[in-house]
Amino acid sequence: MANVAVIGSQWGDEGKGKIVDWLSSRADVVVRFQGGHNAGHTLVIDGVTYKLHLLPSGIVREGKLSIIGNGVVIDPWALMKEIDSIRAQGVSVSPESLMIAENAPLILPIHAALDNAMERALGNQAIGTTGRGIGPAYEDKIARRAIRVCDLEYPDILREKLTRMMIHHNALLKGLGLETMSADDIYDQLMDVRDKILPFRAVTWKMLDEARLQGKKILFEGAQGMMLDVDHGTYPYVTSSNMSSAQAATGSGMGPDAVGFVLGITKAYTTRVGSGPFPTELEDEVGQCLGEKGKEFGTTTGRKRRCGWFDAALVRQTIKVGGIHGIALTKLDVLDGLKEIKICTGYELDGKLIDYIPASQVQQARLKPVYVTMEGWEESSYGARSWAELPAAAIKYVKHVEELIGAPVTLLSTSPERDDTILMRDPFLGKQ
């Protein structure tokens, strides 16, 4: 049996929640390996909706071990609020079911303040972040001034590190003409929450290694999507972490050979939240229709998502750089009723045809999509659980998507319900 990594192949919001839940019911351990509470997964189980941001999706399933890995940045107050919310829905959360990497960095109140201050300073050039402090927290990690979970155990060291950190950040706040923040205030807030967080602390890389040696199935749960990757996305309109299959290993404390099958979650059309290039964006009635039928509003922010046609060139690129072996195609049913459907196969850039998204933001802004047009279908694909239940034109669409992206469709999702899924290949059985 292979371990499975799940990553988004577009700009996030591809429907990872349902697919991860479907897989987590068959896994023994579920690990979040990057991002923070800027991401959101919605799970619908037996008619009950769970909205998760930091907690791995395995938390809602009894008998599964959930791990927040070292690659995640953790807002301790947001985490405890989420734990309380899930507990109120009848889910048991304990140090036996949830473990947090002792070397995971913390998001502090100063980080959210800096995030929002920088977005305001950028004006109409703002990145479009969630304002939750993710980027500044990762900056502190790279600059070696982060407060980590393990620091909560030692108050004296914690105070020293906070004092040094705030010298840097308050200088920036002053430069922006804003009020500074007190290291003592943040210290007091951390001391209030430390006894709630520390019981979940663990040497998670060791726990994962032991689980692997015991032959347990591990599911690596990514957040957001490859086009928001800080290296390979539409920079600078990206998040502050990596989300490829390589990060699944690094962000959890395992070697790259621990990651087996890499499943790219891929929406049957394209959406994006916030600023940045979007070659296939539709600002007409079709785009509005996709948004309304697909209920395209962010789980974390509630922001309306921009909608457009499926971009096969983009997904083909993320499959290559993300190490994706097969995709889970989601929300096919949203395309029901369209007379014709377009797929982007490449781009025109200054009169030349290219088949990839270039790194330059100047060039990204000038991309014009090149489309093929396919016949749509009037019949409903909603809730289909087998190929035989799909309209013929829908099957043709799926097959053409496979050809254009250069990877097989491993799973096909036809509704938010967990069991409305067509399985072509079991990811836990590996590449085969």
Answer yes or no: are the C-beta atoms of 358 and 314 closer than 8 Å: no
Instruction: State the CB neighbour count (10 A cutoff) for residue 379.
Output: 14
Q: How many CA atoms lie within 13 A of 165 on its CB side?
A: 31
CB 266 within 8 A of CB 315: yes
The set of catalytic residues is 13, 41
For the chain, give the longest Cα–Cα distance. Answer: 67
Other Cβ atoms less than 10 A from the Cβ of 261: the count is: 23
Calculate the CA dihedral of residues 170, 171, 177, 183 and round it to 10 degrees: 10
**Secondary structure of 83-103 as H, E, C letters:** HHHHHHCCCCCCCCCEEEECC
Q: Quote the CA–CA distance of 200 and 67 in Å, as a whole number.
A: 10
Cα 57 from Cα 66, distance rounded (Å): 8
Residues 6+ apart with CB under 8 A from 293: 334
Q: 59 and 85 in contact (C-beta within 8 Å)? A: no
d(CA 127, CA 239): 9
Tokens of 256: 């790259």
